[in-house]
Amino acid sequence: MLGMKIDCPCCGGEIDARHTEGLSTTLRRMYFVCEDCGYRTPAGFEILHSLSASSRSRAGVSLEVKPSLMLRGPVNARTTLARENRP
């Protein structure tokens, strides 16, 4: 999970995840640091639901399958950005 970058909410620069902490099987807390302005913040990363069912279910983990008509093929940050920037 380290290597994830998001926009700094303060200066608009790029901030890096420096540390992550597992809170549950579907929720992580990530700690971001901005090299440009020194801002530091925790952020949450949560698995919300499934786009397709796993072939290897895990005891105690139940994630509703909600297939998306808009997202076909691999989903990544580039796919999401391309869709967000469409008029």
Q: Where along the sequence are the contacts to Zn ion (CB under 5 A)? A: 8, 10-11, 13, 34, 36-37, 39
Query: What 3-state DSSP class applies to 78?
Result: helix
Bridge partner residues of 5 (DSSP): 16
We find the least distance from the C-beta atom of residue 31 to Zn ion, in angstroms, to be 14
Residue closer to Zn ion (CB basis): 10 or 71 = 10
Structure tokens that stand for 63 in this block? 């994630």
We find the least distance from the C-beta atom of residue 41 to Zn ion, in angstroms, to be 10
Residue closer to Zn ion (CB basis): 12 or 22 = 12
We find the least distance from the C-beta atom of residue 16 to Zn ion, in angstroms, to be 11
- State the virtual CA torsion across 51, 77, 44, 70 in degrees, nearest 10: -30
CA-based torsion, 66, 68, 24, 9: positive or negative: negative
Residue closer to Zn ion (CB basis): 33 or 63 = 33
